[in-house]
């Protein structure tokens, strides 16, 4: 508890005083009033026993979701894709695809550090001063595509330290106000991949220290027990950073939920406490994590327990953000129905890691079945279906920076007026990608992302509420001409325009 004076410096100095429920005053100076050197950039003084309070009253109404950077320290520009972009091509291989300076789209390679760097720099140049916070859903470290260079624990730590430094640099410069960043663990950020439980003290304390600037002081201890935390990003808005690996069906250290002291259930109990607290304090909540909850990736009882928890707080939870699958899409669950636990794993899926060669048609038809199964379908074909009375749960899944397709990042827009009845509602998002044209334009110039689409202009969505998603899902599976055209546009977006020939 503290009082805080924040001095921001532009051409003229702007002084914002923000008085919070306070104990010894601490002054956080980004720069001295006289344009002097950086006085302090430590968050250590921001003491709070409850939730941290973000001292920056930024209310631009935008935030970034960035995910799956998958940086590879062994990436070599000009390498063959067969070597996972690790070994330089000989002259005799010039006919096959070689690794580009910013990655090898569609190949089984990870990202060069330069791609992550240029992506963050693009966001910093174009968006840093308009964002309120950053949702960063993990998988900063590479895969194990090259069996001759299997990852070691220290490689994962080094890569995460490197990417965290890039993120800090992008959003935390002496010339700009500090932007809150909310990180979480991906299944490739743990060692061995997918495997983590509450007993991995080395890893948990590594990330607790690495992300200390963003983890509220009062939650460091609990973070070290399960890698989850809650943080305040706006006066009445909190983000829960959830460790989805505690529910993940490929985590060999975790069983199905429902057993005594299961770390996933312990986390769910914590989530429920946070959600109850938020409801009592009339705050709204965003949930974020790496692996999106579904029968494909969650253990069955963990999925049921997760849905049972979140569906009781549809008045509080205004959005849920995930990565991991590299595909731009959404999942929609009707919480009054039992969760459909059928997901036919393909051989590619069974391997665990995702890459460009997986069976995407299978996934697309699974998703279409999910939308089709939602109740109710109106009998009048000229009318959009009515919104069901039961709680719907929407999960947003953002595409990756790793160019499985084209690299992508997403900017959300949300309602910031605390007296509006829809405070915290997601109003829409703009999906950006670096497609072939911006990718090829690289030599000597910084990478430029381009707007791919927005949810209001392309899908005609007034907002991203469950009701709007329900209408979109039902329209796409209705089978009429407009529905079919919307479905095609949606699937093309899902693969970031890289597979358009397959979905015409
Ligand atoms: C569950 O999902 C499977 C695979 O997508 C589908 O074939 C089946 O019809 C679904 N069952 C229900 C009850 O919706
Ligand atoms: C829409 O697509 C479905 C399935 O692909 C097809 O059966 C139907 O005829 C299409 N409708 C129109 C109006 O083209």
Residue nearest atom 1 in ligand 2 by C-alpha distance: 479
CA of 368 from ligand 2 middle (Å) equals: 14
Prediction pTM value: 0.87
Ligand number nearest CA of 487 is 2
Ligand number nearest CA of 364 is 1
Closest CA to 141 of 406, 402, 355: 402
Whole-number pLDDT of residue 360:
83
Percent of the chain past pLDDT 70, that is, above it, reads 81
Whole-number pLDDT of residue 437:
81
Cβ atoms of residues 112 and 72 within 8 Å: yes
Closest CA to 115 of 127, 126, 105, 130: 105
CA of 374 from ligand 1 middle (Å) equals: 11
Q: What is the pLDDT of residues 152-170, one digit of tens each?
A: 999 999 999 999 999 999 9
Probe residue for ligand 1, chosen from 332, 337, 340 as the CB with the greatest number of ligand atoms within 8 Å: 340
Residue nearest atom 10 in ligand 2 by C-alpha distance: 479
Whole-number pLDDT of residue 336:
83
CA of 369 from ligand 1 middle (Å) equals: 6
> What does the chain come to in residues?
504
For the cut 60, the answer to whether the pLDDT of residue 259 exceeds it is: yes
CA of 483 from ligand 2 middle (Å) equals: 9
Confidence of residue 248 (pLDDT cuts 50, 70, 90): very high
The DSSP-derived string for 260-311 is TT-HHHHHHHHHHHHHHHHHHTT-EEEEE-SSPPSTTTB-HHHHHHHHHHHH
pLDDT, mean of residues 350-371: 75
| 14 vs 12: CA distance, rounded Å | 6
What's the helix, strand, coil split of the chain in %, to 5?
A: 30, 20, 50
Ligand number nearest CA of 333 is 1
Q: Is the CB of 44 under 6 A from ligand 1?
A: no
Residue 106: what are its φ and ψ, rounded to 5°? 80, -10
Higher pLDDT, 349 or 126: 126
CA of 340 from ligand 1 middle (Å) equals: 6
Cβ atoms of residues 4 and 26 within 8 Å: yes
Q: Which two tokens stand for residue 496?
A: 């970031």
Q: What is the mean pLDDT of the chain?
A: 84
Lowest-pLDDT range of 76-85, 134-143, 340-349, 367-376: 340-349
Cβ atoms of residues 380 and 49 within 8 Å: no
For the cut 60, the answer to whether the pLDDT of residue 218 exceeds it is: yes
Confidence of residue 175 (pLDDT cuts 50, 70, 90): low
Cβ atoms of residues 116 and 163 within 8 Å: yes
pLDDT, mean of residues 34-45: 29
Residue nearest atom 4 in ligand 2 by C-alpha distance: 479
CA of 384 from ligand 1 middle (Å) equals: 23
DSSP 337: S
Q: Which two tokens stand for residue 388?
A: 């069901």
Whole-number pLDDT of residue 10:
31
pLDDT, mean of residues 276-304: 96
pLDDT, mean of residues 311-325: 96
Probe residue for ligand 1, chosen from 332, 338, 369 as the CB with the greatest number of ligand atoms within 8 Å: 369
CA of 472 from ligand 1 middle (Å) equals: 20
Whole-number pLDDT of residue 118:
96
Lowest-pLDDT range of 42-46, 244-248, 324-328: 42-46
The DSSP-derived string for 74-112 is T--TTBBGGGTT-SBPPGGGTTS-B-BTTB-TTSS--B-
Whole-number pLDDT of residue 264:
97
Closest CA to 129 of 58, 224, 234, 214: 58
Whole-number pLDDT of residue 263:
97
pLDDT, mean of residues 351-362: 64
Higher pLDDT, 346 or 179: 179
Whole-number pLDDT of residue 96:
76
Q: What is the pLDDT of residues 434-483, one digit of tens each?
A: 988 888 776 788 999 999 999 999 999 999 999 999 999 999 999 999 99
Ligand number nearest CA of 340 is 1
Higher pLDDT, 91 or 470: 470
Q: Where are the chain's structural domains?
A: 31-50+64-75+110-503, 76-107
pLDDT, mean of residues 54-81: 88
Closest CA to 172 of 133, 229, 143, 206: 133
Whole-number pLDDT of residue 416:
95
Looking at ligand 1, which atom is closest to the CA of residue 366? 5
For the cut 70, the answer to whether the pLDDT of residue 291 exceeds it is: yes
Given phi > 0 = left and psi -120 to 50 = alpha, else beta, which region is 459? alpha
Q: What is the pLDDT of residues 491-503, one digit of tens each?
A: 999 999 998 988 8
Closest CA to 423 of 340, 348, 318: 318
Residue nearest atom 9 in ligand 1 by C-alpha distance: 369
Annotation: CATH topology of 31-50+64-75+110-503 = Purple Acid Phosphatase; chain A, domain 2 (3.60.21)
Probe residue for ligand 2, chosen from 381, 478, 479 as the CB with the greatest number of ligand atoms within 8 Å: 479
pLDDT, mean of residues 82-110: 87
Residue nearest atom 12 in ligand 1 by C-alpha distance: 340
For the cut 60, the answer to whether the pLDDT of residue 124 exceeds it is: yes
Confidence of residue 91 (pLDDT cuts 50, 70, 90): confident
Cβ contacts of 27 within 8 Å, gap of 6 or more: 4, 5, 7
Closest CA to 236 of 201, 277, 197, 208: 277
Probe residue for ligand 1, chosen from 333, 359, 373, 473 as the CB with the greatest number of ligand atoms within 8 Å: 373
Residues with CB under 6 A from ligand 2: 479-481, 484
Confidence of residue 345 (pLDDT cuts 50, 70, 90): low
**Distances in Å between the alpha carbon of 77 and those of 109, 163, 429?**
11, 19, 33
Q: Is the CB of 22 under 6 A from ligand 1?
A: no
Q: Is the CB of 503 under 6 A from ligand 1?
A: no
The DSSP-derived string for 118-157 is HHHHHHHHHHGGG-SEEEE----B-----GGG---HHHHH
Closest CA to 452 of 395, 404, 407, 504: 407
């Amino acid at each position: 508890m503290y009082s805080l004076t924040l001095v921001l410096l532009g051409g003229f100095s702007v002084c914002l005083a923000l008085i919070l429920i306070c104990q010894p005053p601490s002054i956080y100076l980004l720069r001295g009033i006289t344009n002097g050197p950086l006085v302090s950039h430590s968050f250590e003084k921001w003491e709070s026993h409850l939730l941290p309070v973000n001292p920056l009253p930024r209310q631009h109404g935008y935030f970034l979701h960035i995910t799956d950077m998958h940086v590879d320290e062994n990436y070599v520009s000009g390498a063959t894709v067969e070597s996972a972009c690790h070994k330089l091509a000989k002259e005799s291989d010039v006919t096959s695809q070689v690794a580009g300076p910013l990655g090898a789209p569609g190949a089984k390679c990870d990202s060069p550090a330069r791609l992550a760097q240029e992506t963050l720099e693009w966001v910093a140049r174009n968006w840093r001063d308009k964002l309120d916070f950053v949702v960063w859903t993990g998988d900063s470290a590479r895969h194990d595509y090259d069996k001759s260079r299997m990852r070691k624990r220290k490689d994962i730590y080094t890569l995460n330290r490197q990417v965290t430094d890039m993120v800090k640099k992008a959003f935390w410069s002496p010339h700009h106000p500090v932007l809150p960043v909310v990180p979480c663990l991906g299944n490739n950020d743990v060692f061995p991949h997918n495997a983590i439980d509450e007993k991995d003290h080395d890893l948990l304390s590594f990330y607790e220290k690495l992300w200390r600037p963003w983890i509220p002081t009062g939650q460091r201890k609990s973070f070290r027990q399960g890698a989850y935390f809650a943080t305040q990003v706006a006066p009445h808005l909190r983000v829960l950073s959830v460790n989805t690996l505690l529910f993940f069906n490929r985590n060999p250290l975790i069983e199905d939920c429902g057993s005594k002291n299961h770390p996933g259930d312990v986390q769910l109990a914590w989530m429920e406490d946070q959600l109850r607290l938020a409801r009592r304090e009339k705050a709204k909540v965003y949930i974020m994590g790496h692996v999106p909850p579904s029968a494909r990736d969650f253990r069955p009882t963990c999925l049921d327990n997760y849905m049972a928890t979140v569906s009781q707080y549809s008045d509080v939870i205004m959005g849920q953000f995930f990565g991991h699958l590299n595909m731009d899409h959404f999942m929609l669950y009707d919480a009054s129905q039992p969760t459909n636990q059928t997901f036919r794993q393909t051989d590619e899926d069974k391997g665990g890691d995702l890459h460009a060669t997986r069976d995407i048609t299978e996934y697309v038809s699974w998703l279409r079945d999910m939308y089709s199964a939602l109740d109710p379908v109106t009998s009048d074909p000229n009318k959009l279906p009515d919104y069901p009375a039961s709680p719907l749960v929407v999960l947003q899944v953002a595409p990756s920076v790793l160019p499985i397709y084209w690299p992508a990042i997403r900017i959300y827009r949300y309602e910031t007026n605390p007296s509006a009845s829809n405070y915290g509602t997601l109003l829409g998002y703009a999906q950006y990608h670096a497609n072939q044209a911006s990718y090829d334009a690289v030599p000597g110039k910084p990478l430029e992302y381009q707007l791919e689409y927005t949810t209001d202009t392309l899908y005609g969505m007034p907002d991203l509420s469950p009701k709007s998603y329900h209408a979109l899902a039902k329209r796409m599976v209705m089978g009429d001409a407009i529905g079919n055209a919307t479905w095609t546009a949606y699937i093309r977006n899902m693969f970031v325009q890289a597979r358009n020939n397959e979905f015409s």
